[in-house]
Chains A and B, each alone.
Chain A
């Protein structure tokens, strides 16, 4: 009897152990399911780091550094004397690189912005300007270079901030009689841009001024504006770098992209136009003729002054998968 009771007790205990084992298995399965679900969620988050792996993060950081330094370069350019601009710009470079790096270092990335190791941080330039509002564009005072109908301010230069204020135009209503400015590439392969400015009084009122450009592929584009006359309110302010005339987009100028290319600048039939202009090129005045037209600085109504054309900094980005180093050219054509 006792043996039977003992046997029944063992059977019950065994059943309970089996039941407990089943519970343990159930808990384990549910736990495993929860863990697997959690791992897929973690995978979603982990995929966000793919930008770092692919390297696009390095480009994003570079662009933000470029934007921030360009903004400061513009400020220094506009608010400090030429002799102080270099020091003012240089003073923020190290702290910006240091502060930027502290943000990314916590995520295992190294970002640094420094001076170029080989020097040459600043690019010297020249600002040409004719400041008399009703002088012809023929040539600067001081002598002729190629005659009165042909003049070039600079050869083999990068150009930015080219602004022409036309206050009056003489005679002629055809493109071949018009004032012409051309950007000629030194390379034999071409790539030249040119645009002419003239008035055609046979057109409807309000469309007399014509700006027509010719692309390197001989595509001709045209835009029309109001008449230009000696009246102070009737003028055309042409921003070549913005592609605008009197603040409005001009289809003929929009495609012209003078930055980041070397051009020889030509004025033709400058005797047809009255006004003033200014432009910045990436060569210092000391280069002299023929790279820069030395006659220009000698004139009483025109000047060629030294400016800071741009700056170059060294950018480095290193992560576990990406090593990226490059130069950033600051404010290449942004200053207006």
Chain B
């Protein structure tokens, strides 16, 4: 009987430990849920405002590609180690002061945050990504649009310092960039 009582006490200890563990899980899960619920509360922008206008994003991008503004922004603004008007290598928290940047800023409004990423193939190194505008990971309701921009040899005045390499040295093609715009409220 004594042995039985001792064995029961050990079991109870394990159950106490299990209870403690589960209680900790409940607390942690509650905290995690609360943190996530904070993002989705009615007072936050993501849950109550309409998501960024996908049609507008696509329209700005395709129009800029057609009229040459996109090429001007992505090629002429490159300063050798980063985009000339940016504080670092890319723009963060601001738009570039060119026609494409103005179109994004005026077309999407101050409540929309934007990432503009450039994908390009390197002859010996697969695909690489260069950030033009980067404001962190996209938020809830993010919309995406992309287009391609073909660069010819004559478009790149200083290929040695340009972020994309010449993928077709024997022809006048320089590279084909894929430009992706991701926009979200935030």
Return the contact of A30 from the options B26, B40, B140, B154 (Cβ within 8 A): B26
Taking a contact as CB atoms under 8 Å apart, the answer to whether B32 and A34 are in contact is: yes
- The total of chain B residues at the interface (CB under 8 A) is 49
Taking a contact as CB atoms under 8 Å apart, the answer to whether A99 and B175 are in contact is: yes
Closest to A41 in B: B140
B65 at the interface (CB under 8 A from A): yes
A45 at the interface (CB under 8 A from B): yes
Taking a contact as CB atoms under 8 Å apart, the answer to whether A34 and B29 are in contact is: yes
Which residues from A are CB-within-8-Å of B175?
A: 99
Contact (A16, B16) CB under 8 Å given A67-B65, A102-B127:
yes
Return the contact of B148 from the options A5, A20, A30, A65 (Cβ within 8 A): A65
Taking a contact as CB atoms under 8 Å apart, the answer to whether B149 and A9 are in contact is: no
B143 at the interface (CB under 8 A from A): yes
Which residues from B are CB-within-8-Å of A72?
A: 150, 152, 172
A322 at the interface (CB under 8 A from B): no
B54 at the interface (CB under 8 A from A): yes
Contact (A95, B51) CB under 8 Å given A34-B33, A63-B66:
no
Question: Shortest distance in angstroms between B19's beta carbon and chain A's nearest beta carbon?
Answer: 6
Complexed CA–CA distance, A23 and B21 (Å): 9
Taking a contact as CB atoms under 8 Å apart, the answer to whether A9 and B25 are in contact is: no
B133 at the interface (CB under 8 A from A): no
Complexed CA–CA distance, A30 and B33 (Å): 7
Which residues from A are CB-within-8-Å of B30?
A: 30
Which residues from A are CB-within-8-Å of B51?
A: 44
Taking a contact as CB atoms under 8 Å apart, the answer to whether A23 and B22 are in contact is: yes
Taking a contact as CB atoms under 8 Å apart, the answer to whether A26 and B1 are in contact is: no
Instruction: Report which residue of A12, A13, A17, A96 has the largest number of chain B beta carbons within 10 angstroms of its beta carbon.
Output: A96
Return the contact of B152 from the options A26, A65, A92, A102 (Cβ within 8 A): A92
Contact (A26, B26) CB under 8 Å given A13-B11, A60-B147:
yes
Contact (A88, B172) CB under 8 Å given A20-B15, A61-B148:
yes
Question: Shortest distance in angstroms between A91's beta carbon and chain B's nearest beta carbon?
Answer: 5
Contact with B along A30-70 (1 / 0, CB 8 A): 11011001000100110010010000000011011101110
Complexed CA–CA distance, A35 and B51 (Å): 22
Contact (A48, B143) CB under 8 Å given A72-B172, A96-B176:
yes
A27 at the interface (CB under 8 A from B): yes
Question: Shortest distance in angstroms between A43's beta carbon and chain B's nearest beta carbon?
Answer: 11
Complexed CA–CA distance, A23 and B26 (Å): 7
Contact with A along B108-132 (1 / 0, CB 8 A): 0000000000010100000100000
Instruction: Report which residue of B26, B140, B176 has the largest number of chain A beta carbons within 10 angstroms of its beta carbon.
Output: B176
Instruction: Report which residue of B11, B54, B167, B173 has the largest number of chain A beta carbons within 10 angstroms of its beta carbon.
Output: B173
Sampled A-B contacts (15; CB under 8 Å): A2-B1, A6-B4, A6-B8, A19-B19, A23-B25, A34-B32, A48-B54, A51-B145, A60-B62, A64-B62, A64-B65, A92-B152, A99-B121, A103-B121, A103-B178
